[in-house]
Amino acid sequence: MHELSVTQGILDMAIEKALEAGSKRVTDIYLVIGDASSIIDDCVQFSFDFVSKDTIAEGARLHFQRIPLQVRCRDCGDVFRPQKESWECPQCKKWEVDIIKGKEFYMESIEVD
């Protein structure tokens, strides 16, 4: 369950930033997660509830913003969202693409008391 380790990192960063700001409680954490990142919202929430116990972030609400997968065709440069059954470029019909969005996973911001 790799969500546990990445969630611990998010918690550590949120607490560090809250303490730097002189806050005593983290109330909200805003996360950005790409659809191709293999990070599952429910697993992050479950892990967060576990690792945040007895910290200044216990009970903080997690907010998830999902970034859809987007690719660029290496041949013609067209940017598109691939279909589950096909990553073929709709313009030139080639299959060679680079992922340009959708692999993100980061903490965008926090709210504190």
Long-range pairs of 96-99 with CB within 8 A, sequence gap ≥ 24: 97/71, 97/72, 97/73, 98/71, 98/72, 98/74, 99/36, 99/69, 99/70, 99/71
pLDDT value of position 38 = 86
Task: Report how far residue 79's alpha carbon sits from residue 68's, in angstroms, rounded to the nearest whole number.
Answer: 13
Q: What proportion of the chain, given as a percentage, has pLDDT over 90?
A: 88
pLDDT of 13 > 90? The answer is yes
- Domains in the chain, CATH or no CATH each: 2-68+101-112 (3.30.2320.50)
Model confidence pLDDT, tens digit, residues 38-82: 899 999 999 999 999 999 999 999 999 999 999 999 999 999 999
pLDDT of 83 > 90? The answer is no
Amino acid at 63: H
pLDDT value of position 33 = 95
Q: What is the mean pLDDT of the chain?
A: 94
pLDDT value of position 2 = 72
pLDDT value of position 97 = 95
Task: Report how far residue 11's alpha carbon sits from residue 17's, in angstroms, rounded to the nearest whole number.
Answer: 10
The whole model's pTM is what? Answer: 0.85
Which tokens hold the place of 3?
């969500």
Q: Which helix (H) or strand (E) holds 34?
A: strand 26-34
